[in-house]
């Protein structure tokens, strides 16, 4: 054997030899640190630490890890918040695979892996995960694909920490799936192209193998059309599962703009005229619709709502007007639509601008005749339901573009009620945040928490493109992350801490061009160019 071949084989042998790796789980993701034998590795908040994690719960140089012939050891460097091994404070301790080391708020696990093993990497921080998931939503909307978001949570305390169960989750995921850290004991999982059955199997497999794990599922577009809507749907599902859940959904009124809205609501409630609510996504249009319903004479009758953007075009008329048995594949029995269900009460049509032209024509007929005809039927059914429509779109512009019926718009906007964006009513950020904080603590079963003045200042400075819904999501995530009974800026996302998204508005969904293949080629080209730019032209890394 030649010397060159010997060197090559020896080199390969070195690559395949096991080595020790630390995995550090923190609020912004997971960091993997490979250890060299005989060389110390210091973990801390700032340089000169070897592994820097900018968490205020860490000391500048918090703990030292060493690996030698006797194994791996950890030494606390007189840190403020201390170091624990399997829940017990230590100054120095030997570590074995399976031990859990808490370096302040950061959980460290030790692994013996080959240097080619990459399966410990891949957790995104929250902001990075949200940005990637927004891209997935765009792709799913554009190409009419399925998409699921799953929240997996362990029990409170170290037993439920993600380091205990994340490997079992990974084993069930596909290469296209993405995982983001939501808190010390919670992960968000993006599942492109996943059907409800696929997601259910994943959730059942995880929760069935560990009763301490719980899973909440939100499907696009049925449960929401944006990142904030889907995360809110996950939390709503968790709230619904709690028998003691009794959140007060009432409107908070502090600003002059909202006082004017509430004054208008009181006048509108006495009548039965159709109302069009206009506001950005997440401003609380459904809460306003409920306030109109519950302030009027129909409050003891049903309020039924339908998100027009969440129902497939082929099923929207069935959802609105009902269907007869055998009307289409899967229609095993007759069903009432929301107009029949809300007879004598109120119908809320959320995102009414997303209705197809056929559904618009059918809705116009109902508004004019007060009658519905079920899909597959020929009988006119009398209905008495007040209609409240809501949208974030400019319906007049859609009329000019030929995408919305002018006669339907005339019927809907008998009275238009504009809901101001949260950035226009900053004085309501604090009371809303405090309400959501109280609710989230009750749902999590934790002690009540308060907002640090700097955290509150960051909340009031941020522009909230996702409005009230985004604020609620941010507070619920902060409760998951918080190490103490005070919410600090460190418990908020990078965007909120930095005050970014100033005066930003959530982008409109992309329109699907008539030429599908041309659009697909352009989309693929954009992805390639973006990847090449990200990796400085390196084609291998971009691929």
Say how many C-beta atoms besides its own lie within 10 A of residue 211's C-beta.
8
Exposed, middle or buried, 283 (CB in 10 Å: 0-12/13-18/19+)? buried
Which of the two residues, 456 and 483, has the higher pLDDT score?
Answer: 456
380's torsion region: left (phi>0), alpha (psi -120 to 50) or beta? Answer: beta
- Nearest Cα residue to 65 out of 45, 50, 48: 50
* φ and ψ at residue 386, rounded to 5 degrees: -70, 140
- Which pLDDT score is estimated for 3? 44
- Looking at the structure, tell me whether residues 232 and 292 fall in a common domain: no
- CA distances to 229, 258, 276 from 286, rounded to whole Å, are 13, 15, 12
Work out how many domains the chain is built from and give that number.
Answer: 3
Q: Which residue has the tokens 């030790």?
A: 110
DSSP state of 157: S
Give the Cα separation of 451 and 181 in Å (integer): 22
Which of the two residues, 475 and 87, has the higher pLDDT score?
Answer: 475
From 384, 399, 419, the end of a domain falls on 419
pLDDT at 531 over 60: no
Give the Cα separation of 95 and 107 in Å (integer): 13
Rg for the chain (alpha carbons), in Å? 27
* φ and ψ at residue 259, rounded to 5 degrees: -65, -40
End-to-end alpha carbon distance in the chain: 36
Query: Is the CB of residue 81 less than 8 Å from the CB of residue 56?
Result: no
- Which pLDDT score is estimated for 80? 92
**Percentage of the residues of the chain whose pLDDT score is greater than 90:** 36
- Residue 461 — very low, low, confident or very high, per pLDDT cuts 50/70/90? very high
Query: Is the CB of residue 274 less than 8 Å from the CB of residue 268?
Result: no
- Which pLDDT score is estimated for 117? 39
Query: Is the CB of residue 152 less than 8 Å from the CB of residue 183?
Result: no
Cα atoms in the Cβ-side hemisphere of radius 13 Å centred on 160? 17
- Looking at the structure, tell me whether residues 285 and 415 fall in a common domain: yes
Cβ within 8 Å of residue 5, ≥6 positions away = none
Considering 212-221, 259-268, 442-451, 531-540, the range whose residues carry the highest mean pLDDT is 259-268
- Domain harbouring 59, CATH code: 2.60.200.20
428 domain residue, yes or no:
no
- Which pLDDT score is estimated for 369? 94
From 241, 268, 303, the end of a domain falls on 241
Query: Do strands 371-373 and 380-382 pair parallel, antiparallel, or not at all (unpaired)?
Result: antiparallel
pTM, two decimals, is 0.67
Give the Cα separation of 474 and 468 in Å (integer): 10
- Which pLDDT score is estimated for 516? 45
pLDDT at 301 over 70: yes
> 323 in helix, strand or coil?
strand
Q: Which residue has the tokens 């691929």?
A: 543
Average pLDDT for residues 443-469, to the nearest whole number? 89
Give the Cα separation of 232 and 53 in Å (integer): 29
Q: What is the pLDDT of residues 384-437, one digit of tens each?
A: 999 999 999 999 999 999 999 999 999 998 999 999 999 999 999 999 999 999
- Nearest Cα residue to 120 out of 162, 92, 156: 162
Average pLDDT for residues 444-462, to the nearest whole number? 89
Average pLDDT for residues 138-148, to the nearest whole number? 86
- Domain harbouring 210, CATH code: 3.30.70.270
Q: Mean pLDDT across the chain, nearest whole number? A: 82
Query: Is the CB of residue 447 less than 8 Å from the CB of residue 243?
Result: no
Range of the domain at 185: 122-241
C-alpha of 460 from chain center: 21
- Looking at the structure, tell me whether residues 110 and 129 fall in a common domain: no
- Looking at the structure, tell me whether residues 58 and 195 fall in a common domain: no
List own/partner pairs for 377-381 with CB under 8 A and 24 or more apart.
Answer: 377/323, 377/324, 377/327, 381/340
- Looking at the structure, tell me whether residues 145 and 221 fall in a common domain: yes
14 domain residue, yes or no:
no
- Which pLDDT score is estimated for 7? 37
Average pLDDT for residues 46-57, to the nearest whole number? 90
Dump the DSSP string for 77-112. -S-SS-EEETTEEESEEEE-TT-EEEETTEEEEEEE
Which of the two residues, 52 and 538, has the higher pLDDT score?
Answer: 52
Which of the two residues, 218 and 164, has the higher pLDDT score?
Answer: 218
- Looking at the structure, tell me whether residues 201 and 224 fall in a common domain: yes
Give the Cα separation of 164 and 107 in Å (integer): 11
Q: What is the pLDDT of residues 322-380, one digit of tens each?
A: 888 888 877 788 889 899 999 999 999 999 999 999 899 999 999 999 999 998 888 99
- Looking at the structure, tell me whether residues 201 and 225 fall in a common domain: yes
pLDDT at 520 over 60: no
Query: Is the CB of residue 290 less than 8 Å from the CB of residue 431?
Result: no
Q: Which residue has the tokens 């200042």?
A: 457
From 51, 81, 114, the end of a domain falls on 114
- Which pLDDT score is estimated for 542? 55
- Looking at the structure, tell me whether residues 392 and 297 fall in a common domain: yes
Average pLDDT for residues 57-63, to the nearest whole number? 94
- Which pLDDT score is estimated for 198? 85
pLDDT at 5 over 50: no
Query: Is the CB of residue 325 less than 8 Å from the CB of residue 331?
Result: yes
Query: Do strands 186-192 and 178-183 pair parallel, antiparallel, or not at all (unpaired)?
Result: antiparallel
pLDDT at 476 over 70: yes
Query: Is the CB of residue 540 less than 8 Å from the CB of residue 532?
Result: no
Which of the two residues, 121 and 207, has the higher pLDDT score?
Answer: 207
438 domain residue, yes or no:
no
- Which pLDDT score is estimated for 112? 66
* φ and ψ at residue 304, rounded to 5 degrees: -120, 130
- Which pLDDT score is estimated for 18? 53
Q: Which residue has the tokens 């002690």?
A: 447
Per-residue burial over 19-52, b = 16 or more CB atoms within 10 Å of its CB, e = otherwise: bbbbbbbbbbbbbbeebeeeeebbbbbeeebbbb
356 domain residue, yes or no:
yes
- Looking at the structure, tell me whether residues 105 and 168 fall in a common domain: no
pLDDT at 543 over 60: no
- Which pLDDT score is estimated for 249? 53
Query: Is the CB of residue 417 less than 8 Å from the CB of residue 278?
Result: yes
- Looking at the structure, tell me whether residues 128 and 90 fall in a common domain: no
């Amino acid at each position: 054997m030649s010397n060159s071949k010997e060197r090559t084989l020896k080199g390969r042998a070195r690559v395949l030899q096991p080595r020790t790796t630390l995995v550090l789980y923190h609020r912004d993701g997971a960091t993997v640190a490979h250890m060299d034998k005989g060389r110390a590795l210091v973990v801390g908040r700032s340089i000169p630490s070897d592994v820097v994690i900018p968490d205020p719960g860490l000391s500048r140089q918090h703990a030292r890890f060493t690996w030698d012939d006797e194994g791996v050891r950890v030494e606390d460097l007189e840190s403020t918040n201390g170091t624990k091994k399997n829940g017990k404070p230590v100054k120095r301790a030997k570590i074995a695979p399976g031990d859990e080391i808490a370096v302040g708020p950061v959980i460290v696990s030790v692994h013996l892996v080959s240097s080619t093993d990459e399966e410990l990497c891949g957790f995104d921080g929250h902001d990075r995960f949200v940005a990637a998931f927004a891209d997935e939503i765009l792709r799913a909307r554009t190409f009419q694909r399925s998409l699921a978001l799953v929240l997996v949570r362990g029990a409170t305390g170290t037993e439920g920490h993600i380091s205990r169960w994340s490997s079992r989750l990974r084993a069930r995921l596909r290469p296209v799936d993405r995982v983001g850290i939501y808190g010390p004991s919670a992960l968000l999982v993006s599942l492109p192209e996943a059907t409800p059955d696929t997601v259910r199997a994943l959730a059942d497999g995880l929760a069935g193998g560990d009763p301490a794990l719980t899973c909440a599922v939100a499907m696009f577009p049925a449960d929401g059309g944006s990142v904030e809507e889907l995360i809110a749907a996950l939390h709503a599902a968790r709230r619904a599962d709690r028998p003691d859940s009794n959140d007060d959904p009432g409107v908070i009124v502090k600003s002059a703009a909202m006082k004017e809205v509430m004054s208008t609501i009181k006048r509108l409630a006495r009548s039965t005229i159709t109302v069009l609510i206009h506001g950005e996504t997440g401003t609380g249009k459904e809460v306003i619709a409920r306030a109109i319903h519950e302030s009027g004479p129909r409050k003891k009758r049903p309020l039924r709502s339908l998100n027009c953007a969440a129902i497939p075009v082929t099923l929207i008329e069935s959802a609105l007007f009902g269907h007869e048995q055998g009307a289409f594949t899967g229609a095993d029995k007759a069903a009432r639509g929301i107009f029949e269900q809300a007879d004598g009460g109120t119908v809320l049509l959320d995102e009414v601008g997303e209705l197809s032209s056929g559904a618009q024509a059918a809705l116009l007929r109902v508004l004019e005749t007060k009658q519905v005809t079920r899909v597959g039927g020929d009988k006119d059914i009398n209905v008495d339901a007040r209609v409240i429509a809501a949208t974030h779109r400019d319906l007049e512009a859609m009329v000019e573009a030929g995408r919305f019926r002018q006669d339907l718009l005339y019927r809907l906007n008998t009275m238009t009620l504009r809901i101001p964006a949260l950035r226009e009513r900053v004085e309501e950020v604090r009371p809303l945040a405090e309400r959501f904080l109280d609710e989230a603590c009750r749902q999590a079963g934790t002690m009540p928490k308060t907002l640090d003045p700097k955290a509150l200042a960051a909340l009031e400075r941020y522009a909230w493109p996702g409005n009230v819904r985004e604020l609620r999501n941010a507070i619920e995530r902060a409760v998951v992350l918080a190490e103490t009974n005070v919410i600090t800026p460190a418990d908020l996302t990078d965007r909120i801490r930095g005050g970014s998204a100033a005066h930003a508005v959530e982008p409109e969904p992309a329109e699907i061009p008539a030429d599908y293949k041309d659009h697909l080629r352009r989309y693929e080209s954009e992805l390639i160019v973006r990847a090449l730019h990200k990796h400085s032209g390196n084609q291998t890394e971009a691929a």
